[in-house]
Structure 1
């Protein structure tokens, strides 16, 4: 089917459309520069010929999609198994949780704010039980940063209310043995009957006292 060229009208964009397109070209070029600068040299060489910034993330997903999935599972497992150990700093613990959440966000696994707060509260030790009850009863709505500040304040109060550790001095007990110099030597029992200067004497009656055990002179 032949179409008369006179019937076909060429489309001419308006001035506003031209300005919008030029603005988009500048923004897209800036985005390409940011993405390329964050890549390694080998990846830069492979992606610098791409015309738009949208094509770059799609290409990276094809190259590292499986690795991204494995990394996501590893970080998620670490987040779900992390618990605050009694005696450690609550600040270090919450910062660790925030770091894992940031890694998941980079890996395109975003967790909503309410779930993030629950993950922190449910993994705190029993010393923060009263704080968790107050949070749920008062229906508090805090970000992770504000929650961290509140937990640090609670931690300082808990430390002030804790009883001081008992100081046990090393003292000698009453049952402690005396020095060797005070010990008295035990004497061996001495034979009385039928003995004279360690020599056994014959038994008989003494001529004067008539008692047994003496010999007759």
Structure 2
């Protein structure tokens, strides 16, 4: 019983210290912001250290939350990267994210303020001209339908002389 009581006593003493350390570490992690122009590698490594310290203290973060914390701590110059990362739903480990951020930082330094945005195609319903089935003619649908230009109209009258069933090419219509 003496050993058991000693272990319980040590747990009580050190749990309070671990709680305080966990509080300080999580506070530093959540308040961490990268200064514009500073290297992204050092910033991300510092944040990864905080995350690993929390894991050792029994408070592990899921990879998605850790990634979100890192991306939220970046300055405005990384907005195109963050937008692309979130739009494409990229799932990377923290070391892989670090590599991607270093590459993006190098590209930003080389290219100045050029940003690349990936856009997904959105399908919309539109009235389009239907493709023909081998006879060389097309059929139109909806508002974009072509109206006949001469010859017999849809109600069967000539466009030029208004006689029923009469083509404009006949001599009686042209005179």
Structure 1 length as normaliser, TM-score? 0.48
CA–CA distance in structure 2, aligned partners of residues 158 and 86 of structure 1: 12
Write out per-residue CA displacement over residues 137-167 of structure 1, whole angstroms, 9 at most, x where no aligned residue.
111000000000000000000000128xxxx
Aligned to 2:54: 104
Aligned to 2:70: 120
Aligned-pair CA distance for 1:62: 2.3
Aligned to 2:15: 65
Q: 1:86 to 1:76 in 2, by over 3 A?
A: same
Aligned to 2:30: 80
CA–CA distance in structure 1, aligned partners of residues 9 and 33 of structure 2: 37
Q: Equivalent residue of 1:140, what SS?
A: coil
Aligned to 2:98: 148
Relative CO higher for 1 or 2, CA cutoff 8 Å, sep ≥ 6?
Answer: 2
Aligned-pair CA distance for 1:50: 6.1
Unmatched 5+ stretches in structure 1 = 1-48, 164-217
Q: Which runs of 4+ in 1 moved over 4 A?
A: none
User: Cα RMSD (Å) of the superposition?
Assistant: 2.1
Unmatched 5+ stretches in structure 2 = 114-175
Query: Which of residues 91, 112, 115 is equivalent to 1:162?
Result: 112
Write out per-residue CA displacement over residues 156-193 of structure 1, whole angstroms, 9 at most, x where no aligned residue.
00000128xxxxxxxxxxxxxxxxxxxxxxxxxxxxxx
Structure 2 length as normaliser, TM-score? 0.59
CA–CA distance in structure 2, aligned partners of residues 128 and 60 of structure 1: 46
2:81 aligned with 1:131: yes
The alignment covers a number of residue pairs equal to: 111
